[in-house]
Amino acid sequence: MKKLIGLSIIGFLVVVSSCTQKVIRVVCVGDSITEGYGLAVQSKTGYPVELDSILGPGYTVLNSGRSATTLQKKGDFPYWICKEFSNDFVFRPNIMVIMLGTNDTKPQNWNASRYEQDYQALIDTFRTIPTHPQIYLCLPVPVFKTKWGINDSTVVNGVIPIVEKLANANHLPVIDLYHDMLDQGANFTDSIHPNEYAAKVMAGFIAKEIEK
């Protein structure tokens, strides 16, 4: 009888321990590709939701994407002025996944030196978060056809080299969604935004890097 009681107590302690285990908070920073523009139900099929599902109960993921935003402070809609930017701090993340730059490629927005300067400022700002989050920089997904001024040439020759340079300078990991998603053109119905299937594929690549 005493042995059974002892086993019951051990079982109870295991349950309590698992329930109080720290949940890792992940925030996905980005534009409409992160927010889930064009998806039937963003709240259920955006890549951050899929990421939350793949990572499992030990993680909780916040979709902090805002459509049309730029990384540059002087872009036509800077991420810096959005409520999502404030939410990133309130959420107290342990991990941050940043994918900003697609809207910066529009001709009226693109300025390479300003993009690099503001990206460094964003990294420095996020590093002030008390939880000291691990920051991942994403190479943007491909632009399969120029639209709204968004173009693949600037992604390849402008955005990607700067992201790689900053990742190296700041000792941050890079998630290469550009090359990972090159074969998904058919699943970007407007050539810019992933559909439900492509969003799930993106989430899989990101989860793989986080779980390393």
pLDDT at site 21: 67
For residue 188, what pLDDT is reported?
Answer: 97
- 77-131: per-residue pLDDT in tens? 999 999 999 999 999 999 999 999 999 999 999 999 999 999 999 999 999 999 9
Tens digits of residue pLDDT in 23-55? 999 999 999 999 999 998 766 789 999 999 999
> Given this structure, which CATH class describes domain 21-210?
alpha beta
112-126 and 160-170 are packed helices; what angle lies between their axes, rounded to 10 degrees? 40
82 C-beta neighbours (distance < 10 Å), count: 17
Task: Give the pair of three-digit tokens for residue 150.
Answer: 């968004």
DSSP E strands in the chain: the ranges are 24-30, 59-65, 95-99, 134-139, 174-176
pLDDT at 41: 76
158-192 pLDDT, tens digit per residue, is: 999 999 999 999 999 999 999 999 999 999 999 99
Domain ranges within the chain, ordered by starting residue: 21-210
Residue type present at position 41: V
* DSSP-based three-state secondary structure for 167: helix
Q: In this predicted structure, what is the pLDDT of residue 2?
A: 43
Looking at residue 43, its pLDDT comes to 67
Of the spans 5-14, 34-43, 57-66, which averages the highest pLDDT? 57-66
